[in-house]
Structure formats: structure tokens, C-alpha cells
A = this chain, B = another copy of it.
Amino acid sequence: MKNILLASTSTLYGSGYLEYLLPELKTHFANCKSILFIPYARPSGISHEEYTQKVVLTFAQINIEVKGIHEFENPALAIQEAEGIFIGGGNTFLLVKELYHNKIMTTLKETLETGTPYLGTSAGSNIAGLSMQTTNDMPIVYPPSFQTLGLIPFNLNVHYLDKEEQSTHMGESRETRINEFHQFNNFPVLGLKEGSWLKIKEGKIFLKGALSAKLFRKNQTPIEITPETELSFIQ
């Protein structure tokens, strides 16, 4: 049975890396002495080593060791043998390209479906959806496919924010972009605000955190979802 946390963002404004999630992570990874970190998304282009070191320091606060997947010779085996897995944010195109390039997309899906505890933040949450097509990231590299893990039967739009009423900028709002997505794709999209996360456990999906989320379905008016709502109805 899947055991998954999908956070909109790793970091809240004015707060430390993963700080707001640490109490939840302590419980989520309670049975893990160590976890596997996948640093492929490389935020701001930082190296795998540098990114992993940041995560090592953070998880040390809750007494969990962290190893980066780049330290292993066989990344598929590293996934299968991991006590827990964390994929952090950065660029989703790069993350997806690297997962395919290292031939671990399927292994990752199968492993997480058997219950290995998983944490995704930002790009690491995007890939839990059916496709990466509702990412906000720039297409800095060309992945062989946009299809992702499908651990949830819909897509996420992370760092979601409503259009500011007073904005004079003419670039598309997030809502306009998601509506364009629905011209060509049928599955729902959940706009997850910074500070929100999904908790998937015992076959159920809950919206956690203090903020509402916004559910977009093809040809339907978007609806606000309140915290603690069970989301298995979305498909």
C-alpha cells in the first residue's frame, strides 16, 4: 500500500529547508534509519553532491541518514533496497530526463507502489502525477517522454497561486495555462499551494496543511478543496 507525501514546496518563505514538514517527516520516515535522495532536478543547477549535502544536514535533525543515488553503482538496486526515498525540487524536465536516462522510472513506480515511504517536493511531487505536463518549469532539456509515475490518478500543479487581481502582466495566469492543458488532456489537475501537501496512506489521499487547493477538471468550473478533505473522488 502506497505511503507517500507530496509537498508543493520544500521551503516556506522566511523558513528553513523542509522546516515546516519536519514533524510530519519524523512520523513518515519513523521506520527508516536512512533514506535515498534523488538530486536529479538540481535547483539553480547545483551539483548532485551539493544538493545531497543540504538534504543530509536537514535529515540529521531527525536522526535519519541520507545517501544520494549518484553514490550507487546500480541506481535501480539502490531504489529497490532503500528504506525510504526523497526526490527534491528543481527542474522537472531535467528530473524526468534523468529518471528515463538512468532507466529507473518503472523501478521507482513499482517500488513506491509496494509501500516504500516516499517524499516528493515540487518537481519530486510533479512526477507523482500521470504526466509532467502541468509543471511550471522551463524546458531546459528534452526528456524522451512527458509520462511520469502515476502514483495518483491526476496531475499536480505545484507552487499554485491564483492570479493577482491587480496584476498588469499579460503573461498567462496559472488557471489559463491549466485550461489550455485541458484542451488536449482529460485528467484532472490539482493546484497545490505552497504549504500544502498530499498524504497518501492506506489507500486514501488527504489534503494537508492550512490552505485550500484548487481542483481543475476539463470543461468544469474549478472548485476549492478544503484541508483534510479525502481526495479519492478525483479521477
> Which positions in A face B, CB cutoff 8 Å?
9, 11-14, 42-45, 90-91, 93-94, 132-142, 145-146, 159, 161, 168-172, 176-185, 194
Residues of B within 8 Å of A183, CB to CB, are: 42, 45, 140
**Distance in angstroms between the alpha carbons of A168 and B11 in the assembled complex:** 11
Task: Give the chain B neighbours of A137 by CB distance below 8 A.
Answer: 172, 177
- Number of copies of chain A assembled together: 2
**Neighbouring B residues of A43 by C-beta, 8 Å:** 172, 180
Give the residue of B132, B138, B171 whose beta carbon is less than 8 angstroms from that of A180: B138
B135 in contact with A180 (CB, 8 Å): no
Per the bound structure, the CA–CA distance linking A35 and B141 in Å amounts to 35
- Known A13-B170, A170-B159, A194-B170; judge A180-B146 contact (CB<8 A): no
Q: Chain B residue with minimal CB distance to A11? A: B170
Collect the chain B residues with CB atoms within 8 Å of residue A42's CB. Answer: 180, 183
Asked if residues A179 and B139 are in contact (CB atoms below 8 Å), the reply is no
Contact A91 B180, beta carbon cutoff 8 Å? yes
Indicate whether A138 sits within 8 Å of B45 (C-beta atoms), given known contacts A13-B170, A161-B169, A170-B194: no
Give 10 A-B contacts (CB < 8 Å), ordered by A residue: A9-B170, A13-B170, A43-B180, A45-B183, A90-B180, A91-B180, A93-B139, A138-B178, A139-B146, A140-B181
Considering the chains assembled together, what is the distance between the CA atoms of A201 and B91 in angstroms? Answer: 37
Residue from B12, B90, B138 in contact with A181 in the complex, judged by beta carbons closer than 8 Å: B138
Among A132, A134, A141, A145, the most chain B Cβ lie within 10 Å of the Cβ of: A141
Q: How far is the CA of A138 from the CA of B181 in the complex (A)?
A: 8
Quick one: given A134-B138, A140-B181, A184-B140, are A44 and B168 in contact (CB under 8 Å)?
no
Chain B residues with CB under 8 A of A13? 168-170
Evaluate contact between B159 and A169: CB separation under 8 angstroms: yes
Q: In the complex, how many angstroms separate the beta carbon of A154 from the nearest chain B beta carbon?
A: 15
Q: Which residues of B contact A184 (CB under 8 A)?
A: 94, 140-141
**Residue A133 contacts which of B90, B139, B176 (CB distance < 8 angstroms)?**
B139
